[in-house]
Amino acid sequence: MPFPRRRVLTVCAGAFGIAAAAYLTVPDKSRHAPTVDDAELSPSHFTHLKVPPFATPIWSVYIKDDDIQVERAYTPLRGIDDEGRMEFWVKRYPRGEVGRWLHSKHVGDTVEFRGPLTTWAWKDGANWDEIVMPLIESKGYKIADDLNPDRVDAFKERPKGPVEEPLYPHLLVGTRMWDKRPVMLKLSRTDLWEATIFEHLASIPDPDNHTIPFYDLITPPEEPTSEYQWCIIITPRLTDCRDSHLRTVRDLVDFVTQVVEGVCFMHRYNVAHTDVARTNIVWDERPNVPDHVRVEPDSLLSRWFKKKPPVVRKYWFIDFGLACSFSSYESRGLVKGLCGQHRNIPELSEEVAYDPFPLDIRQIGEMLNRDYLALYKGAQFLVPWVAKLRHDDPTQRPTATQALAELQHLTSSLSEEKLSSRIYKHGDWPYLARNTAFVLLVWFILNGFFFYYQWDRLRMTVTIDSETLAALDNATNRVIEE
């Protein structure tokens, strides 16, 4: 007796479910580095090793990308051998700048690195916790729980993880106590004047001011034995522009306009950022409310029925560690040094002085060309304008005010249809094609189920009387004889 079709379908669905559950729950074979073997952790694996500071081995070194001013921490697999060599396991991520750059190197190429680098250091022992932690909390801020001295003995022994920026060890994550607002705490050297420039710009009431809000400045007591003196800058924790933040051409125009407005504002007050890059521009994912207003979470019903106002996204500049500030327009001068993340700019030099203000304009062009025009379809209308910003001769580039005026003139001619059109990355499916393919796939699946379950009902029973059947037989016989 053959199985009914529904029973066969049930058996197949059950087998598929078991296979899917096994795929999701059974762990894959370990794909570890070739220098590591699978082994169970010993009971003392997390026991802290107490060693004096001078005997602490090199845990990580910083490797710098020559093309852009970015460095990343890498841990040697075996430390340093007798010949001064180190081995690294370098992963190549799609968005990893230094990893991709290292994979392009060949045997014999020169790579610049430094280390070990000690950050957030205070004194030997737990004095950092005893002095700085209470100082931070007295200002109304709280360090993430995994970095709280109540849970571990000393800051240097705390576990690394998502609560601390692994690529930026001078940054810490915390919250503002009264409204639970996520904040970022940045350790900065006082001799670089970053905090002074930052606080000055953030305090200026100007609609073109795109300096990230400056919450607080904490200055710990001076440490006589330290080579540098440090301060802690506290700002809101926002999302940088490496995450997807553009959906339409209007979003792109708004982003570029705000970036140029921010540079115009800084130049108006005789400050050159000198590190305009996508990683130094952030945006707020929260609803558009004043920063001092506490946002209560909506109830489930209000999320469904409450009409949400249109969100106007605002972009902010961060990281003024390389900024150049002058007291007036007349006192502006030239600078030297290889600064910024875009290292292909011709005037950058450690020997020949250059003007830092045209450098900002070129950096805007480099950022847009590399991170947006080369990645997105639908942004080609900006190509002629970006080409002016990327002129090799600094004197031929427009000023920030001129660049903003040209951009506004260019975008004012765009139609509403163009502004509302979607932009997408090269290689991605367009929005309409993706949704059409999805609808067709669902239609085919539903039709397949329909015909499978309704096949018996689609059979038609035709009743033929004996006279009609005899006539059909006679007609068939005549055809055969002929």
pLDDT for 37-73, tens place per residue? 444 444 444 444 444 444 444 457 777 766 665 667 7
* pLDDT (0 to 100) of residue 69: 58
The answer to whether 163 is a known ligand-binding residue is no
**Rounded percentage of the chain residues whose pLDDT exceeds 70:** 66
Q: At what angle do helices 249-268 and 400-412 cross, to 10 degrees?
A: 160
Going by C-alpha positions, the residue among 229, 219, 45, 17 that lies closest to residue 121 is 229
Q: In the numeric block, which tokens belong to residue 71?
A: 């460095």
CA 75 to chain centre: 23
176, containing H or E segment? strand 171-176
Q: In the numeric block, which tokens belong to residue 83?
A: 């010949």
The structure tokens 């794909």 sit at 31
Q: Give me the numbers of helices (H) and strands (E) for the chain, helices first please.
A: 13, 17
Give start-end residues of each CATH 3.30.200.20 domain in the chain. Answer: 120-237
E-assigned strands of 219-305? 230-236, 239-240, 271-272, 281-283
Instruction: Tell me which amino acid residue 308 is.
Output: K
Q: Are 476 and 470 in contact (CB under 8 A)?
A: no
Instruction: Tell me which amino acid residue 251 is.
Output: D
pLDDT for 225-278, tens place per residue? 667 778 889 999 888 887 678 888 999 999 999 999 999 999 999 999 999 999
* pLDDT (0 to 100) of residue 52: 45
Q: Which CATH architecture does the domain made up of 246-287+311-428 adopt?
A: Orthogonal Bundle (1.10)
316 falls in which pLDDT band (50, 70, 90)?
A: very high
Give start-end residues of each CATH 2.40.30.10 domain in the chain. Answer: 57-114
Least reliable range by pLDDT among 118-122, 169-173, 292-296: 118-122
Q: What secondary structure letter does DSSP report for 181? A: E
164 falls in which pLDDT band (50, 70, 90)?
A: very low
The answer to whether 91 is a known ligand-binding residue is yes
Q: Which of 175-189, 217-231, 302-316 has the highest mean pLDDT?
A: 175-189
Q: How far apart are CA 107 and CA 245, in angstroms?
A: 39
Cβ-count burial 364-373 (b if 16+ within 10 Å, e if not): bbbbbbbebb
pTM listed for this prediction: 0.62
Q: Which of 3-17, 131-145, 190-204, 256-270 has the highest mean pLDDT?
A: 256-270
CA 285 to chain centre: 13
What does the pLDDT average to over 351-370? 94
The answer to whether 418 is a known ligand-binding residue is no
What CATH code is assigned to 57-114?
Answer: 2.40.30.10
Classify burial at 143, counting beta carbons within 10 Å of its beta carbon; exposed 0-12, middle 13-18, buried 19 or more: buried
Q: Which CATH architecture does the domain made up of 120-237 adopt?
A: 2-Layer Sandwich (3.30)
Classify burial at 201, counting beta carbons within 10 Å of its beta carbon; exposed 0-12, middle 13-18, buried 19 or more: buried
